[in-house]
Amino acid sequence: MCGVIGVYGYEDVAADIINGLETLQHRGQDSAGLVVFNGSFKMHKGNGSVSTVFKNLPLDRFKGEIGLGHVRYSTIGSTEAVDAQPIAVNYPYGLAMVHNGNVVNFNELRRKLYEEHHRLLDTSNDVALILYTLATQLEQKDLRHLTVEDIFDSVQGVQRIVQGAYSAITIIANKGLLAFTDPFGIRPLVMGRKFTDKGVIYGFASESTTFDFLGYEKIRDLKPGEMVFIDEERKIHSKIGLTKRQAFCVFEYIYFAREDSVIHNRLVASERVRMGKRLAQKIKESDLQPDIIIDVPNSAYFFASAMAEELGIPYRRGLAKNHHMGRTFITPGQKEREQMVRRKLNPIRDIVKGKKVAVVDDSIVRGTTSKRIVEMLRAAGAREVYFISASPPVKHPCIYGIDMSVKREILASHYDVDEIRQYLGADAVIYQDLEDLIDLYKDLPICHACFSGQYPTGAGEEVLEAIEKEKLQSNRV
C-alpha cells in the first residue's frame, strides 16, 4: 500500500506535493520521493518518512509546473532507496511514474520486457513494470504526432497486459499529466482542482484528505479502468479503458484510509460506524456482557464507539497511544512489529482494572498485536478480555498491495476461532461476518479476497507461491 500525488499547475508545485505527501504518510513509511519536470526531470527520494527525506530540501532547485510524489510501503521489492518511487525513463519523450497497488504477474512481465523489448529492469519495484510497459506501448505510435487517443490506446495496452491492482500517475514530458486505474478499480485515486489567478491547477491523490489540506476542491473518484489525461493547455480528456466488475478494496474503509477521507462518496469514519453497529448485533447474539468497550487507537475508534452506543455500554479510552510512532501493521518485519506494540500502546490501569473489557480492533491478521494487547490488559487488572475484530477472519494472502502476502503469517488460515482465542489468551473472540460486510456494500462491489479467497483478477497457486517467494526474499517477515 502506498500514497501517490500528482499536480499540474501554473507555478512551482513541489511544495504542494511535499505537503500533500504529509497527509498520506499513514499509507507508507519505508520511503518517500518527489519528481518535477521543467525541461528535465528533477528527482529526490530516499528511505524514511516525508519529514526525513525532504528535510532541508532546497525547493528552488525543484522548480516545475508539473510533478509527482510518493510514499512507499513495500510489498513487492526491497526497502532499498533504489526501489523508492517515482521512477523515470528518458524514452519515449521522458516518462515519470508513481503508483499505488501491486502487480501480480511480475515475473512474467519482467521476462517479456527483456525477451521481447530488450528492457532490463534494475529494480524489483513493480512500478517499473507498469512504466516500461507503457513506454513499449507508446513506442508503437507515431511519436512525432502523438494524440490523446494514442495515449489512451497505450494505457489500454497496459491494462490488458498488467494484472493486479494499480492507480498510477504519469508525467509525459512536454505533453501532460496522465492518470489511470486498473480494470477493477481496486485502489483509490481521486481527482481535484484549485482555482488561481493564473488558471486551474489539477491534481490526483490517493485520498481526498490531501485536497482538503491543500485547499483543492475534490472533483471525483476515478472509475475502474478509467484514464484521465490533462494536456499542456490544461484541457481534461477522460475515457473508460479496459474495465471489469468493480472490486474496490474494503480494507481501505476498515484500516488504511484516513477517517476524514471520502472515497466513492463515502466518509471513511461513517463506514466504520456502520460496521461497528453490525458488530453490536454480534455481541447481542452472544452471552457476553462487557462492562466497558475500548478501542485499539486510532483506526478502531469509530467501530468501538458505534458499538458501545448501539449496546448502551460505556465507551472508554482504555489504551493510551504514543502518537510519535508509525503504524504497526506496516512496520517491516515481525520482530520490529512485536517490539513496537509495547512502546506504542499502554493500558490505562484505573479504567480497565476489575472490568470485563471488550477491546475492538480493525482486524486480526498475524495476531502479534492482538496477543500483546490482551496480555497488557490482563496485566493491568482486567477481569475478562473479549477481543472484537471489525473485519471478518483474514484467511488468505492479499496480492493487491497489503502486507499479508505470506500465508504462514495469517492466523485464521490455520486456526479456528476458538484456537485463535486460546492463542490470544482472550476470554472470547468475535469477528465481523463476511456476509454482513458484503451486505453493507451492495451498491459498491468490494474486493474481499483476503477473507474469501475470491481474487478479482484470478490467482492460482503458482501466482500465490511466486508472491510469497518474493516476499520472503525481501526479508519482510
CATH of the domain at 426: 3.40.50.2020
CATH of the domain at 112: 3.60.20.10
Least confidently predicted of 65-69, 77-81, 113-117: 77-81
Q: Among positive and negative, which fits the CA dihedral 361, 364, 365, 366? A: positive
Q: Are residues 234 and 120 in the same domain?
A: yes
Q: Are residues 85 and 201 in the same domain?
A: yes
- Helices 417-424 and 368-379 sit at what angle, rounded to 10 degrees? 50
Does any domain span residue 460?
Answer: no
Tens digits of residue pLDDT in 42-55? 999 999 999 999 99
pLDDT band at 340 (very low <50, low <70, confident <90, very high): low
Tens digits of residue pLDDT in 189-233? 999 999 999 999 999 999 999 999 999 999 999 999 999 999 999
Task: Summarize the confidence of residues 445-454 as an average pLDDT.
Answer: 96
Q: Are residues 326 and 294 in the same domain?
A: yes
pLDDT band at 403 (very low <50, low <70, confident <90, very high): confident
Give me 4's grid cell.
501517490
Is residue 24 within 8 Å of residue 71, measured between CB atoms? Answer: yes
Tens digits of residue pLDDT in 307-321? 999 999 999 999 998
- Asked whether the predicted pLDDT for residue 239 surpasses 60, the reply is yes
Q: Which of 187, 212, 246 is the last residue of a domain?
A: 246
pLDDT band at 82 (very low <50, low <70, confident <90, very high): low
Binding positions for [4Fe-4S] cluster: 249, 398, 447, 450
Task: Summarize the confidence of residues 281-290 as an average pLDDT.
Answer: 94
Q: Which of 184, 212, 246 is the last residue of a domain?
A: 246
Higher per-residue pLDDT: 118 or 28: 28
Does any domain span residue 379?
Answer: yes
Q: Are residues 192 and 279 in the same domain?
A: no
Q: Are residues 183 and 295 in the same domain?
A: no
Q: CB burial class (10 A; 0-12, 13-18, 19+) of residue 60?
A: exposed
Complete DSSP assignment for 221-281: EPPTTEEEEEETT--EEEEE-S--S--EETHIIIIIS-TT-EETTEEHHHHHHHHHHHHHH
Cα(408)–Cα(198) distance, rounded to whole angstroms?
A: 55
Task: Summarize the confidence of residues 1-18 as an average pLDDT.
Answer: 95
pLDDT band at 406 (very low <50, low <70, confident <90, very high): confident
Q: Are residues 279 and 197 in the same domain?
A: no
pLDDT at 405: 58
Q: Are residues 271 and 231 in the same domain?
A: no
Percentage of residues in the chain with pLDDT exceeding 90?
Answer: 80
Least confidently predicted of 77-91, 244-258, 309-323, 346-360: 77-91
Task: Determine the structural domain holding residue 348 and report its residue range.
Answer: 267-444
Does any domain span residue 259?
Answer: no
Task: Summarize the confidence of residues 440-453 as an average pLDDT.
Answer: 96
Single out the residue of 67, 70, 66 nearest to residue 21, CA to CA: 70
Q: Are residues 303 and 402 in the same domain?
A: yes
Least confidently predicted of 76-85, 181-190, 255-264, 414-423: 76-85
Annotated catalytic residue, options 1, 2, 88, 357? 2
User: Which stretch, 106-115, 240-249, 398-407, has highest mean pLDDT?
Assistant: 240-249
Binding positions: 249, 299, 361-362, 398, 447, 450
Q: Are residues 205 and 278 in the same domain?
A: no
Binding positions for Mg(2+): 299, 361-362
pLDDT at 274: 98
Known catalytic residue at 407:
no
Given strand 356-361, what is the order of strands in its sheet?
292-295, 356-361, 384-389, 428-431
Does any domain span residue 412?
Answer: yes
Q: Are residues 105 and 168 in the same domain?
A: yes
- Asked whether the predicted pLDDT for residue 298 surpasses 90, the reply is no
- Asked whether the predicted pLDDT for residue 67 surpasses 80, the reply is yes
Q: Are residues 307 and 435 in the same domain?
A: yes
Cα(447)–Cα(196) distance, rounded to whole angstroms?
A: 39
Cβ neighbours, 10 Å, residue 312: 7
Domain count, the chain: 2
CA distances to 87, 170, 299, 384 from 97, in Å: 6, 4, 30, 51
- Asked whether the predicted pLDDT for residue 458 surpasses 90, the reply is no
Is residue 93 within 8 Å of residue 144, measured between CB atoms? Answer: no
pLDDT at 248: 98
pLDDT band at 472 (very low <50, low <70, confident <90, very high): low
- Asked whether the predicted pLDDT for residue 296 surpasses 70, the reply is yes
Q: Are residues 355 and 400 in the same domain?
A: yes
